[in-house]
């Protein structure tokens, strides 16, 4: 995983009307459908933001906002029952505050009801006088990340329980970019984090090499009948171009599938979907570019993409385009979310990225998925499997909402800490939901992650009993040592809680896959169903999580979400509490100081 760690402060207001639950979910409020966009919601966005900003400064003891702070709206979320939530990033004396994000909650009358904040302490640094020059900070960042540094920007680093004056620097090498934060007084490197999300961590790749294990996914049958085209995607006597067309992707992993493409002229097609914001997959042709425009468009005269084998460069592209569009469909049709950032923009992909790259990752620099072809040894095929794409694009969703960040990164690039582990967990949770949504016969929907990668243990991670993953050492339950656990391994805590909430404890067979989920306290948990569990986790992510949210915070966030959706006395609310208790996350063992 290569997590985007720090982002420049956004000042534009994005009006979000992402759904709070799944279609058909019964809400506690008067509206029983998914959330919907309305002209009045959009036109009132400025008033909502001003009400939230005013409330933040009026309730300083709770919000932590103080003199010198400015709040910049990043998201305005409207709930069917009338509540509003405004997500802010913060500047202090004009400097962006890292870890200064907060969400102000309002009722239907725009009255203040509470806040969710990342920094528990004041964000004012002890000094605003830097001892290092910007040039010196850039040089230190370049040395730390071993690349070429851009100009250094003064920021306030409020992560880790204290606020300090620092420089933020972007460093670029041939593999991408890192964000480096350098203390402006001491010169110490406070953090050095890659800006993209790798699916396979350095620790996992090292373990695979150590055990001599290769990842060689079994490919599907390209001769299967394609799925039915999407409604309205066909072309009937079209004389104006470009226009939507119904194509076929002959993929590596999911057989032949229907793809909506673009007919550019009579008998000529491009692997670009006009019905999904122009989402497109291109060929990087071995380059390590982070500019989507540098990729080569896939074009053809047959509207058939690939042949089901790696001998055809378009086969991997068909998998990627299918996975990206299915993920977009899942988020839109389940939550009303229009695109990864809910801004009706394309989610793009580039296959054949780099030279012998054994990974795939979400890259916020180009707002796209990048897929390597494998190194030919440890990993022998492009990592374009469906749940991998769902997992990685969910990192993009998290980056557009809570921006969950790892606590620290070691010299090998492995990341640690509960917020980062929660990020990985959410990517697994929603990635598995993409499989359930797609219902592809060649990729049975399940609660396993990476089950098609060809591993000896038959999966990479699993949600029902995470510790069965021996490659990453994933954990089932929370303990005080979880803070020091690599994020993929630590993800098991909240993934396990989600599975228990959805399906319950004990033995169960779903779609032919056997599960047997244990509990920390030997309790029995009866699940509320995947639909409701997913609604609760999504609402918690978008409304009640911030960059520093840990597992105990996540418990509170999901309880608040369950209360919003179903009521505080509901079975759903009580089961959320039971599920977290079953992974040893309780109110009683909440650490005194978490951030």
Catalytic residues, by residue number, are: 392, 488
- Could you give the CA distance from residue 461 to residue 464 in angstroms, rounded to a whole number? 9
User: Which of the 8 DSSP states describes residue 404?
Assistant: -
Tokens for 85, please give them: 């939530």
Tokens for 231, please give them: 């409604």
- Could you give the CA distance from residue 545 to residue 556 in angstroms, rounded to a whole number? 9
Cα radius of gyration (the chain): 23
Preceding peptide of 78 cis, ω within 30°: no
Instruction: Judge contact between 118 and 595, C-beta under 8 A.
Output: yes
Instruction: Judge contact between 474 and 461, C-beta under 8 A.
Output: yes
Question: 372-388 burial, b for 16+ CB within 10 Å, e for fewer?
Answer: bbbbeebbbbbbbbbbb
> Residue holding tokens 């609310």?
573
Which neighbouring-strand residues pair with 443?
none
Tokens for 558, please give them: 């999901």
Phi and psi (nearest 5°) for 295? -75, 155
Angle between helices 551-566 and 492-503 (to 10 degrees): 30
> Residue holding tokens 């793009």?
348
Number of Cβ within a 10 Å radius of residue 453: 23
Tokens for 493, please give them: 């805590």
Checking 538-542 for CB contacts under 8 A at 24+ apart, the result is 538/20, 538/21, 538/334, 538/335, 538/430, 539/20, 539/21, 539/564, 539/565, 541/397, 541/398, 541/401, 541/402, 541/426, 542/16, 542/18, 542/20, 542/75, 542/77, 542/85, 542/401, 542/402
Number of Cβ within a 10 Å radius of residue 266: 9
């Amino acid at each position: 995983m290569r997590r985007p760690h720090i982002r420049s402060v956004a000042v534009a207001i994005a009006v979000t009307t992402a759904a709070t639950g799944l279609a058909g979910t019964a809400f506690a409020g008067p509206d029983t459908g998914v959330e919907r966009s309305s002209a009045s919601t959009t036109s009132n966005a400025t008033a909502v933001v001003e009400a939230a900003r005013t409330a933040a400064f009026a309730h300083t003891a709770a919000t932590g906002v103080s003199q010198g702070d400015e709040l910049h709206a990043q998201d305005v979320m409207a709930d069917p029952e009338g509540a509003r939530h405004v997500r802010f990033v913060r500047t202090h004396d004009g400097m962006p505050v890292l870890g200064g994000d907060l969400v102000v909650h309002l009722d239907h009358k725009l009255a203040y009801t509470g806040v969710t904040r990342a920094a528990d302490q004041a964000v004012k640094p002890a000094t605003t006088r830097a001892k290092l020059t910007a040039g010196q900070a850039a040089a230190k960042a370049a040395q730390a990340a071993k690349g070429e540094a851009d100009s250094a920007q003064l920021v306030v680093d409020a992560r880790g329980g204290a606020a300090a004056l620092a420089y933020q620097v972007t460093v670029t090498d041939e593999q991408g970019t890192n964000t480096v934060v350098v203390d402006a007084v001491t010169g110490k490197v406070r953090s050095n984090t890659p800006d993209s999300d790798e699916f396979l961590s350095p620790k996992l790749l090292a373990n695979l090499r150590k055990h001599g294990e290769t990842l060689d996914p079994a490919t599907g049958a390209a001769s299967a009948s394609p799925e039915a085209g999407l409604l309205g995607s066909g072309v009937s006597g079209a004389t104006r171009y470009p226009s939507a067309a119904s194509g076929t992707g002959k993929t590596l992993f999911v057989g032949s599938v229907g793809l909506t493409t673009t007919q550019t002229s009579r008998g000529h097609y491009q692997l670009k979907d006009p019905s999904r914001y122009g989402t497109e997959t291109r060929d990087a042709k071995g380059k390590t570019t982070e500019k989507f425009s540098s990729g080569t468009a896939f074009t053809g005269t047959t509207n058939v993409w690939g042949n089901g084998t790696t001998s055809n460069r378009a086969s991997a592209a068909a998998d990627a385009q299918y996975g990206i569009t299915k993920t977009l469909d899942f988020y839109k049709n389940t939550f009303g979310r229009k695109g990864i950032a809910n801004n009706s923009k394309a989610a793009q992909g580039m296959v054949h990225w780099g030279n012998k790259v054994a990974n795939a990752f979400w890259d916020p620099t180009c707002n796209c998925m990048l897929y390597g072809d494998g190194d030919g040894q440890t990993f022998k095929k492009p990592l374009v499997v469906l749940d991998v794409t769902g997992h990685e694009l969910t990192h993009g969703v998290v980056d557009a909402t809570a921006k969950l960040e790892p606590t620290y990164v070691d010299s090998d690039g492995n990341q640690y800490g509960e917020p980062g582990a929660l990020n990985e967990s959410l990517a697994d949770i929603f990635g598995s939901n993409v499989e359930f949504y797609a219902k592809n016969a060649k990729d049975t929907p399940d609660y396993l992650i990476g089950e098609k990668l060809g591993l000896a243990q038959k999966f990479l991670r699993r949600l029902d009993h995470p510790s069965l993953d021996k490659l990453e050492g994933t954990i089932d339950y929370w303990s005080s040592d979880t803070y020091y656990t690599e994020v993929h391994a630590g993800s098991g805590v909240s993934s396990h809680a989600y599975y228990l909430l959805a399906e319950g404890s004990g033995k169960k067979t779903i779609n032919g896959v056997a599960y047997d989920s244990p509990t920390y306290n030997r309790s029995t948990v009866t699940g509320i169903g995947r639909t409701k569990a997913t609604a609760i986790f999504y609402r918690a992510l978008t409304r009640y999580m911030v960059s520093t949210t840990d597992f105990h915070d996540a418990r509170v966030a999901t309880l608040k979400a369950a209360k919003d959706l179903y009521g505080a006395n509901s079975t759903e609310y009580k089961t959320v509490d039971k599920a977290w208790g079953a992974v040893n996350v309780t109110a009683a063992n909440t650490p005194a100081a978490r951030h």
